Structure 1
């Protein structure tokens, strides 16, 4: 019988939370829970789903204590794991992150380009505050961070808390791609093992085998050269997301040595993406009118409900499954394999040692154990060095409140390049983010 855990979900007002609860129910025997604390500074959003969450957990996890709070001391005073999924500025700021760059003919995306820069600056402040609040209560609590943009957040936290080994930053994109690969190949995802390198949202699969050593990489690579790439849950995706996967096919018409992650589309085909974008209706609007609307409608059915019978259970969350599997591997020292983020320290032997790289590895009770990848080729090294420099300058701009470093960061970003556009979009983003961060022009 496995010991029970106490977890805190930070950013519990996220529309992703009900699906995360679905994952906790799904894994309740593998990752039993004594207590779940739902914490958010915005009680308005959390209250929309409280009845739903309580009903689901009462039905399927009656032994688990459930707490909702807006008090960080209650949230963090006695918890084993913090599952963090904050969005500083909520969807209102996400919408601006996506729309402001489009005014200047630049990619409008929440984690990449100028929008990702603005979001990263907001997230850094919120995440640093959160880590300090957690560590006020315990140095042993595990912080599993899903807050985006993960590359900037992970690098910033590593700079501010370099000796804290119980912060793990994660992203479900490689995990989700593995699920799609498994469907294409007709094998179970749990039996696949990937070779992979990159930065978060900026990486490549270079090998794929099953647990018995059978190599599937050439089969998968051939398939993606000759067939449209569709995600495993294509019927649930909007057209913009389906187009995102199709651009993997387009990338591979030029460079088919490795299989890219989907986010590389923004760096290789920015002009095409801008031309296809609606500056008045972006993915923030799509999410509000589709996924979020559906979540709120399902949650509303649980208000005053006595039984779960008439309420749909939200499940099959890639990010939720990843979060719980990672916590399970830590709690019970399983050394399960993931694609994870870690300080490089010669994991990629010819790359910056202080970069936060994304590679395959295992996780156990003492944290991440990334596999050494070795050298990468000049083309990928050049791309990654520029992207790392952008991430590093963004973190330094935030910590030092340095306008010039922010301008340099955006000029380096492959979605921008033009310093005139970089300055115009930076000034606009600064004005709209003045409640969250500011920069100074230093001598």
Structure 2
């Protein structure tokens, strides 16, 4: 049997945690655990799901010790892995991130544009404190960070902790796209190997083959030009989420050389997206009223029960699988292939060496290693340089509390461009976030 591990789920009040627990159960032979610590600063929210999470683990993983705590010392002491998925400010602040930009005719999205800027500033402060606390106990604990916006958080953590090689920033979007591609092509996802480059939520697939060397890229590219793109679990997704996939089809009709991540829509078609947005009811509201409510209702059904009869065991084939498979690949030095976020340092040889790029690579006991990509063409280089400058100025604005750098960052962002709008939205976001970050 493989060595057992102790993990902490930081941000255990997330509605995604019950599905992560189900994934941990499904992977218990591959990634066995002796103890799971659930940690969140919001005891009430974590408590909504505690009875369900305990029941699932008692029913299917009785050998695993379970702890729920709001004490960060208990959460971060003597653990092997931390699965971190903070949402600083919770749904209330996400709602403002989405609604405030829409006042000015700007994209209202939680990771892209002004909303992503505000969220990034909040996340950086919380992540800095968390890493410092974890490292006060151990330099060996792996921090698998799922906190968004991953591009800003990853770059900020690299600046704050440049010598820390056990912080790994993760994003499930490329993983999810590969799962959708596998369904379209009728090919098992585990057999697919991609070539990919970009920044997080800002990248392109350039090749897709299987382990036997069969090339599927042109087939997929043709399909996406001529058919509406749908995720593998389209029947479970809301219309607003499905719309993000359809615009891949629109992009491909204009430029079909590479296949973009779905998040590119916010940078390519911002005016169209704003026109379709409801400034009073955004994705934060939609998520609260659908997925989150459904999870909480299911979890409420576990109260007082000592068996799972009549209760579904939730699992997540994207978020959960990625998190656990990454931990497994580190723990047992499997060097499995993933789309990884790493410091460039020549991977893309005509791009900024200090940038955190997203490319195909491997993960093992020494962390993530990106495959060399070579040079990128002027169009993609130009887009990425502008986006990287936005990310870098955002991080510097946080570290230096510099208003001017924040204004420059937002002006550079393709979803904004107009410096007058950048100033107006920045001032509103700063007021809304005054309990989390300030600028001078």
Does the pair score TM above 0.5?
Answer: yes
- Per the normalisation by structure 2, the TM-score is 1.00
Q: Aligned partners of 1:317, 1:38: CA distance in 2, in Å? A: 21
Kindly provide the CA deviation profile for residues 128-153 of structure 1, in whole angstroms up to 9, marking residues without a partner as x.
00000100110000000000000000
CA contact (8 A) 1:20 1:317 kept: no
The whole-number CA distance in structure 1 between the counterparts of 2:308 and 2:86 is: 28
Deviation per CA, 1:85-126, whole angstroms, max 9, x where unpaired?
Answer: 000000000000000000000000000000000000000000
- 1:4-403 counterparts in 2 under 5 A? 4-403=4-403
Q: State the distance in 1 between where 2:198 and 2:286 align.
A: 29
Match of residue 405 from structure 2: 405
> Retained in 1: the 8 A contact 2:396–2:402?
yes
2:178 and 2:436 mapped to 1: Cα distance? 36
Q: Offset of 1:26 from its aligned partner?
A: 1.1
Q: Please report how far the alpha carbon of residue 316 of structure 1 lies from its aligned counterpart in structure 2 after TM superposition.
A: 3.0
SS at match of 2:342: strand
> Once the two structures are superposed, what CA deviation does each residue of 1:374-416 show, in whole Å capped at 9, x if it has no partner?
1000000000000000000000000000000000000000000
Q: Distance in 2 between matches of 1:40 and 1:316?
A: 20
> In structure 2, how many angstroms separate the alpha carbons of the residues matched to 1:387 and 1:184?
30
2:179 alignment partner, SS class: helix
Native 8 Å contact 2:393 2:409 kept in 1: yes
List runs of 5+ in structure 1 lacking aligned partners: none
Asked if 2 retains the 8 angstrom alpha-carbon contact of 1:51 and 1:299, the reply is yes
Q: Is the 8 A contact 2:194 2:209 kept in 1?
A: yes
Deviation of the 1:369 alpha carbon = 1.4
String of CA shifts for 1:301-347, please: whole Å, max 9, x gaps.
00001211121111134111100000000000000000010000010
In 2, the alpha carbon distance for the partners of 1:224 and 1:334 equals 33
* Separation in structure 2 between the aligned mates of residue 278 and residue 252 of structure 1, nearest angstrom: 26
In the alignment, which residue of structure 2 is the partner of 1:433? 433
CA RMSD of aligned residues (A): 0.5
Are 1:417 and 2:417 matched, yes or no? yes
- Determine the C-alpha separation between the residues in 2 that align with 1:263 and 1:165: 28
**Structure 2 residues not aligned, in runs of 5+:** none
Q: How far does the alpha carbon of each residue in 1:270-326 deviate from its partner, in whole angstroms, 9 at most, with x for none?
A: 000000000000000000000000000000000001211121111134111100000
Q: Distance in 2 between matches of 1:17 and 1:401?
A: 33
What secondary structure sits across from 2:406 in the alignment?
A: helix
State how far apart, in whole Å, the 2-side matches of 1:217 and 1:259 are.
9
Give the SS at the match of 2:196. Answer: strand
| SS of 1:66 mapped into structure 2 | strand
Alpha-carbon shift at residue 248 of structure 1 (Å): 0.1
User: What is the TM-score of this pair, normalised by structure 1?
Assistant: 0.99
Partner SS, residue 136 of structure 2: helix
Give a deviation string over 1:15-63, Cα, whole Å, max 9, x none.
1100111110111110000000000011011000000000000111110
Q: Which secondary structure state, in structure 1, belongs to the residue aligned with residue 304 of structure 2?
A: coil
Measure the CA separation in 2 of the matches of 1:297 and 1:311: 11
CA distance in 1, matches of 2:369, 2:98: 35
- d(CA) in 1 for partners of 2:259 and 2:221? 7
Does the Cα contact within 8 Å between 1:403 and 1:439 map onto a contact in 2?
yes
The number of aligned residues is 440
CA distance, structure 2, for counterparts of residue 158 and residue 58 of structure 1: 39
**In 2, distance between residues paired with 1:17 and 1:78?**
21
Distance in 1, Cα, partners of 2:292 & 2:153: 24
Task: Determine if contact 2:387/2:413 at 8 Å carries over to the other structure.
Answer: yes
